Amino acid sequence: MQEAIFHFPTDGTPVKCEQIKSGHINQTYLITTDTGAKYILQWVNQFVFPKVDAIMSNMAAISSFLREHQSGKMAMISYIDTVEGKNYYDDEHGGCWRAYRFVDNSICLQHAETAEDFEESARAFGNFQYALNKFPAETLEETIANFHNTVDRYRLFREAIDSDCKGRLAQVAKEVAFVLEREEKACHLQHMRERGELPVRATHNDTKINNVLLDADTHKALCVIDLDTVMPGLSVHDFGDAIRFGASTAAEDETDLSRVNLDLDFFRSFARGFMEACPSLTENEINMLPMGAYNMTIECGMRFLTDYLNGDVYFSIDRESHNLDRCRTQFKLISDMEEHWEEMERIIAEEHQRLENGVCCQNS
């Protein structure tokens, strides 16, 4: 890391480096120089992201599109070129590094403390989605193949069950059955996508609240970050992943499952912010927002369980049962969603209606 930062042109000499503990894949550091300038330096996990060039070129295409088409609504992170003139530094020991200037006075929340903050993050992701409405999604590379293809996630899950390489299968029979029983509903959106019933768009695909930077004083969104998984996808997945993470009443790795529920007020706040900021959503997309939340939650739980069976090779862990704990919170959320399904649908319908009424009033 010390070697890596010196490949980037910084204002002053780097004197301090602190790790930012956020995210399960890459490693992120805050670097401060002797002049007080701050930078974010990131090590990219090439096991997860073997196509670093594809990530960087997707990002370049999106930034230039947004610069041209968006009237300065939201900033974009722009990476700094290395002193060698490349957009990342390859340390030749299997590590890729990139850097950007720290966004002044910004904060990144690990969970929303208020419904207002959550709604603001929804507006940020909704804006991002709307700004990319006319972007030719098919020109983006898939940085991770079949990332949110739930049918393929089931295939990988079954492979992990069949090989049971760590001998952990017997211990998770209940969780395995939970996933298998819900296959049809879990794959519903993928099937709609294949039938052309949902538009394939340029989407973010990792819409946790900690992927939005907020102004430290006003809590207004400044920009959306972590664009590694921007690729062709479904807007309902962007909605759903944010709900999965942000509308849960407990942390993703909470072990006391009685504390894990879907907060319906947060669900409403996010739906309001997202729909308001993204008027390009089609009727089908709006109707499928609850399904987006269901889909991302079961898929993510299945991914944690798959990784647990595979011996924790994908998500970083702090304890042996970490991925198992994470998968259990997702399944608890799913049970809660099943119980409140009609309410979730009603909230979306109400928020949609509210928006339509608002638009009518503005037009008349």
Cα–Cα distance, 364 to 362 (Å, whole number): 6
Interacting span for Mg ion (CB under 5 A) from 220-228, 232-240, 259-267, 285-293: 220-228
Minimum separation from the CB atom of position 254 to ligand GN1 (A): 13
273 contacts which partner out of Mg ion, ligand GN1, none, CB within 5 to 8 A by kind?
Answer: none
Q: Which is nearer to ligand GN1, 25 or 192 (CB)?
A: 25
252 contacts which partner out of Mg ion, ligand GN1, none, CB within 5 to 8 A by kind?
Answer: ligand GN1
175 contacts which partner out of ligand GN1, Mg ion, none, CB within 5 to 8 A by kind?
Answer: none
Cα–Cα distance, 165 to 65 (Å, whole number): 45
Interacting span for Mg ion (CB under 5 A) from 31-39, 173-181, 205-213, 262-270: 205-213
Q: Does position 325 bind Mg ion by CB under 5 A?
A: no
Whether the CB-CB separation of 46 and 228 falls below 8 Å is answered with: no
Cα–Cα distance, 180 to 189 (Å, whole number): 17
Q: Can you give the binding site for ligand GN1, defined by CB under 6 A?
A: 23-25, 48, 206, 226, 229, 241, 252, 300
Q: Which is nearer to ligand GN1, 31 or 108 (CB)?
A: 108
Instruction: Pick out residues in 230-269 that bind Mg ion (CB under 5 A).
Output: none
Lay out the sheet containing 96-101: strands in order across: 14-20, 27-33, 38-44, 96-101, 89-90
Minimum separation from the CB atom of position 83 to Mg ion (A): 27
Q: Which is nearer to ligand GN1, 246 or 290 (CB)?
A: 246
Cα–Cα distance, 186 to 200 (Å, whole number): 18
300 contacts which partner out of ligand GN1, Mg ion, none, CB within 5 to 8 A by kind?
Answer: ligand GN1
**Beta pairing partners, 99:** 41
Q: Which has the closest alpha carbon to 333: 303, 309, 299, 287?
A: 299
Minimum separation from the CB atom of position 100 to Mg ion (A): 15
Please report, for residues 116, 154, 237, 298, 348, the alpha-carbon distance to residue 144 in angstroms, rounded to integers and kept in the order given. Answer: 33, 16, 15, 19, 31
Q: Which of 206, 241, 253, 263 binds Mg ion (CB under 5 A)?
A: 206
Minimum separation from the CB atom of position 213 to ligand GN1 (A): 14
Residue 123: count of CB within 10 angstroms of its CB: 22
Q: Which is nearer to ligand GN1, 10 or 210 (CB)?
A: 210
Minimum separation from the CB atom of position 312 to Mg ion (A): 18
24 contacts which partner out of Mg ion, ligand GN1, none, CB within 5 to 8 A by kind?
Answer: ligand GN1
Q: Which has the closest alpha carbon to 293: 265, 269, 262?
A: 262
Phi and psi at residue 30, in whole multiples of 5°?
Answer: -100, 120
Return the percent helix, strand and coil in the chain, to nearest 5.
50, 15, 35
Q: Which of 119, 226, 238, 253 binds Mg ion (CB under 5 A)?
A: 226
Whether the CB-CB separation of 108 and 213 falls below 8 Å is answered with: yes
Torsion of CA 178, 183, 185, 188, to 10 degrees: 150
Q: Which is nearer to ligand GN1, 229 or 269 (CB)?
A: 229
48 contacts which partner out of Mg ion, ligand GN1, none, CB within 5 to 8 A by kind?
Answer: ligand GN1
CA–chain centroid gap for 101, Å, is 22
Interacting span for Mg ion (CB under 5 A) from 114-122, 202-210, 317-325, 339-347: 202-210
The residue whose Cβ lies closest to ligand GN1 is: 23
Q: Which is nearer to ligand GN1, 89 or 245 (CB)?
A: 245
**261 Cβ neighbours under 8 A, 6+ residues apart:** 248, 249, 250, 332, 333, 336
Minimum separation from the CB atom of position 243 to ligand GN1 (A): 12
Q: Which is nearer to ligand GN1, 152 or 343 (CB)?
A: 152
x/- string (CB under 5 A) for Mg ion, residues 47-86?
A: ----------------------------------------
154: left (phi over 0), alpha (psi -120 to 50) or beta: alpha
Whether the CB-CB separation of 257 and 237 falls below 8 Å is answered with: no
Residues near Mg ion, by CB under 5 A = 206, 226
